[in-house]
Amino acid sequence: MCALFRFTKPRPSFAEPTQAPPLELKDAQLAAASYGQREGGDLHDYIRVSHERVLFALLDVAGKRDQNRDIVSAAQDALRSSGAQLLSDDDVNEAEAMIEVCVQMNRAIIKAAGRVCACPTFAGCYNETLGTVCYVNAGHTPGLLRDEGGVSELRATGLPLGLFSHSAADASIAALRPGAALLVVSRGTVEAERKGKEFGLEAVKD
């Protein structure tokens, strides 16, 4: 198994990226990068939750960074605490656990915001032993999975977090074959404009 997870969150700027430390996995690698000055409340994070699982997420939190700092912090705390609790057992049902992780994040976001706050979220659990990603796409830009068959979209499985207290997105599973790569980008990447033209998802695929 050889795979690369890369989380990129460019702004409408073409400055050099700021990269987060890569996380070494078994026959794989996970890394993140941000372009330009961070103005919004986007969050990317990843954490090892067991000897064979790594939890990762990318959130596009609505609003300016200085206005939603508490929301971003609450979402990250919920991701890390619930992920470590729910995904540490070797025999856990990953799909059910990922749904519950997102339920906990949703509640934390609503509580911290005190209002409706749309937070499109892509969260996944990479299983090193199985070579799979169990993911929830809550109204986020599609994840892009590239393998020998081409590029496929991991589309939304539910509504963005932060909208309804009792909503829950479904979980799906994608297999990463040898040489595959999974790319998750923020909406800012897709909507970035240059010379009056939107970058677009097709350009991200290319």
How many whole angstroms separate alpha carbon 183 and alpha carbon 13? Answer: 19
Chain centre distance of CA 111? 21
Question: Domain containing 46: what range?
Answer: 40-205
**Type and span of the H or E element at 202:** helix 200-205
Q: Is residue 96 part of a domain?
A: yes
Greatest mean pLDDT among 23-37, 45-59, 177-191: 45-59
pLDDT by residue (tens digit) across 137-164?
999 999 999 999 999 999 999 999 999 9
CATH number at residue 158: 3.60.40.10
Residue 77 above 90 pLDDT?
A: yes
Q: Is residue 29 part of a domain?
A: no
Q: Is residue 13 part of a domain?
A: no
How many whole angstroms separate alpha carbon 175 and alpha carbon 154? Answer: 12
Given pLDDT bands bounded at 50, 70 and 90, which one contains residue 39?
low
How many whole angstroms separate alpha carbon 200 and alpha carbon 151? Answer: 15
Length of the chain, please?
206
pTM above 0.85, yes or no: yes
pLDDT by residue (tens digit) across 98-145?
999 999 999 999 999 999 999 999 999 999 999 999 999 999 999 999
Q: Is residue 165 part of a domain?
A: yes
Total number of domains constituting the chain: 1
Both structure tokens of 52: 């064979």
Q: Is residue 193 part of a domain?
A: yes
Q: Is residue 19 part of a domain?
A: no
Q: Is residue 47 part of a domain?
A: yes
